[in-house]
Structures are given as C-alpha cells and as structure tokens.
Amino acid sequence: MIIDVLVASLIVLAVIIAYKLFLKRLSKGRVDANEYCVLYTTETFAVNGEVEFYFQCPRPMNVDFKIWTLKDEETIVASDHYAKGGHIIRYDTNLMENGIYTFGIETDSQKTVKKFEIKN
C-alpha cells in the first residue's frame, strides 16, 4: 500500500519535471516584445485634418514613420532617432486625397503597419 503511494508520487513528480522541461524548450527562440516599438491605431478609423499618430519605443532607436497608399506609394512623414518612451507624430491629412491608407513604423528589426481612412 505505501509502496503504491510512493510509486504514484514518483510518477507525478516525473510528469511535472517533464512538463517543466517541455515548457522551457518551447520558450527558446521566442520574440522579446521589449525589443520592439508599439504602434497604436488612430482614435477613429476615419480621420480628417491634422491627425496624431502615437508609438512607444522600449529603448532609444532610429524609427521611420511612413504612410502608404493602397498602390504602395510611400510618404516618409518622419525619420529620426527617438528616445525611450512615447512619441506623437502629427500629420495634416489635407495634403492627401480621400481614401484608404496604411501608416506604420520601420526600424532596423521591425515593420509595423495599420490601416486608416482619410475623409476630408
């Protein structure tokens, strides 16, 4: 009886150890989110006039902020070295025609893109 309990406990312990080793193996090679900027959507999908785009950098880095048409025509809005923290980029949408566009940030290690619509 006591031996059965000990064997069962040993089996449970072996399963727990195997499970922890399995999780450790799966976590290798994961992307560290703290190395990438976070780009937020506009307050509303449809925008007009001057719009504010917001992104955060986890550390100082070079960031290109761009707007693309659906035909992949590119407009560089800002290209600078940004400090750690949040940043706002203001852009006058009256400079562009109404329609669907994408905006995004590019760094040495990422490209993040989101959609929005200009309705002036």
Sheet of 38-39: strand order equals 38-39, 50-57, 85-92
pLDDT of residue 91: 94
pLDDT, tens digit (0-9, with 9 covering 90-100), for 95-108? 899 999 999 999 99
Structure tokens of 18? 């195997």
Distances 66 to 19, 33, 111 between C-alpha atoms, Å:
45, 22, 10
pLDDT of residue 27: 74
83 or 120, greater pLDDT: 83
pLDDT, tens digit (0-9, with 9 covering 90-100), for 24-65? 877 777 777 778 999 999 988 889 999 999 999 999 999 999
Q: Is the dihedral of CA 33, 34, 39, 44 positive or negative?
A: positive
Structure tokens of 73? 């025509």
34 or 9, greater pLDDT: 9
Average pLDDT value for residue range 77-82: 94
pLDDT of residue 84: 95
Domain assignments of the chain as residue spans, ordered by start:
1-30, 33-118
Q: What is the pTM of this model?
A: 0.71
CATH of 33-118 among 3.40.50.12370, 2.60.40.1930, 3.30.499.10, 3.40.50.300: 2.60.40.1930
